[in-house]
Structure 1
């Protein structure tokens, strides 16, 4: 390797390694600055810089730089590995098939949504950006024949939210004080009993970083008030990724992210309406007293989000009483 090439690689390796360190910092950041919150969405991509830096330093035999880049790379892998390894805390009750979809106002193809519900035998559907026109489209496409029970709060543009179920609903609620609609209902499964379902949609940080953080915190307070020892499923466009510390605080303790439980990796869901593929995962399904065995993304024509589908095995009451608290948020 010529000296010019070696010097060029070394010069490129330093900023790449620095980018990896910045990505780790963003992963743990609790900053209220909107631009840092947005930057944290891309933290995994920045972390890859450390791996590139390590390769470049090693190829040039710059041992000090290589050692630093390897340490940063290991720290980056440590932050992301839980998304891929999953855990073995499986439930011992019935399996519930769940779907979470953002409909982009009237943009999503209602027939495509209903076809996915039918094909995947979805039992609980949570939707965001539900308009009156979208409700009509879903009705005409036959959603109510598949999921005859519903609790919906449609509205203009991004505000509307809804829950559909193949099992009876009761104790329906809508929560005041949020910019967008937040719903919950009790789903009663024959032969098993009740579980609590939430449909959430906090505002994006560009609306206001303080409002975004406050809404995530208040959604956690709502989850904490859900009945103890009862399974919980919360689907939504959370406008946050697993690299936001504020989201990890929401998905901690009793609650876990279904994708992480299943070891599904980075499930990118947004945006799907651009020339490039989706880059970040802001749609999530949270669970408590239950365990996700499989989570995947599904393309919905006309939406700017991919939907999530999950198989979630809920805990029998005896297991609910013995459920261990998940480790504290990283």
Structure 2
């Protein structure tokens, strides 16, 4: 009887770890952290499977250990399959005239420096750059460097009190080719709770709304704020407007299941990497290989935009930040 009860408990735990959406637990404490790192948890399951295989030699434990090994193997196949189904494509599409290239990169408080950030912007051909944890001083310096290279941008920002702490800043760079944009006051358009979001609207009212966002990380003392932040960003994507959102969402596609509307991943917005077949490439942390990390940095867009390409850039892991840049090529339908 004890063996059966333990077996059922193990099966339930593995089901929750593989697909917490079954029980609506994808944003629950502990579960949210576990599902973020699917391949890491698969690795732990593999180690446990070896341990229980060794236990098969004990006669009294043989049946229970064998059942656990089978459950772990099923979990490993299922969770790996879910992860890989989101894509590891690293091919590159060439942007056409009229496309909007969006780059997002959490810079860990200006860590890479202006020249490195400007270099990534130039390399990616970005028209819009979302920079969580980048100060306006750094953003302005990057814009000056890009302008000197014949690629003029202007910088917009939102910061909270004690803005010397990098995470309390979010900066957006917009190419002058996009027209002029104005950052909207939080009192009018809302705001994430702990870390700032920039919401910019086109002065000519013809371009898409641009949002650089940074929902707080789902650490124990911030779980409610994390959920509210994700719900706020999802609400921006349900207002029937053309919108492009990029930033460090501190969440994966799994966490958004209850927030999608229709065919959207987050509200009506679609995740560019998931749509382009690169949704399984990790953006954090840079010390882990991309196949192992979590994709928590995203570019999402309203249904009037189609992602023709999205890549996690793995060639900048030594520039001081713990996040990888994400670049997406969006084409208006």
TM-score by length of 2: 0.71
Pairs aligned (count): 288
Partner of 1:305: 323
Structure 2: where are the runs of 5+ without partners?
Answer: 1-7, 57-62, 90-95
2:153 is the alignment partner of 1:148: yes
Quick check: 1:105 aligned with 2:116? no
Task: Note closer, same or farther for the CA distance 1:42–1:16 as it changes in structure 2 (3 Å cut).
Answer: farther
In 2, Cα distance between equivalents of 1:21 and 1:48: 16
Partner of 1:23: 17
Partner of 2:92: none
**Residue 293 of structure 1: aligned partner:** 308
Cα offset, 1:305, TM superposition: 0.9
Q: Within 5 Å, which residues of 2 pair with 1:1-330?
A: 20-26=14-20, 28=22, 29-30=24-25, 33-47=28-42, 72=75, 75-76=78-79, 79-84=82-87, 94-142=98-146, 146-154=151-159, 155-156=163-164, 157-166=166-175, 167-170=178-181, 172-175=183-186, 176-177=190-191, 178-187=193-202, 193-206=206-219, 207-227=221-241, 230=242, 232-245=243-256, 249=260, 251-252=265-266, 254-272=268-286, 274=287, 276-277=288-289, 279-288=293-302, 289-298=304-313, 299=316, 301-315=319-333
Residues of 2 paired with 1:18 and 1:257: CA distance? Answer: 30
Structure 1 contact 105–131 (Cα < 8 Å) conserved: yes
- In structure 1, the gaps of 5 or more residues are 1-13, 87-91, 316-330
Whether the aligned pair in 2 keeps the contact of 1:100 and 1:126 (CA below 8 Å) is: yes
Cα deviation digits, residues 87-142 of structure 1 (max 9, x gap): xxxxx983211100111112122211111211222111111112244235424533
Query: Is contact 1:151-1:162 (8 Å) kept?
Result: yes
| Structure 2 CA distance for aligned equivalents of residues 99 and 248 of structure 1 | 24
Alpha-carbon offset, residue 45 of structure 1: 3.2
Q: Which deviates more from structure 2 when the two are superposed, residues 141-150 or residues 302-311? A: 141-150
The Cα offsets for residues 8-67 of structure 1, whole Å up to 9 and x where unpaired, read as: xxxxxx99988754521446552655333222212343246678859x98xx9x997787
TM-fit CA distance, 1:225: 2.3
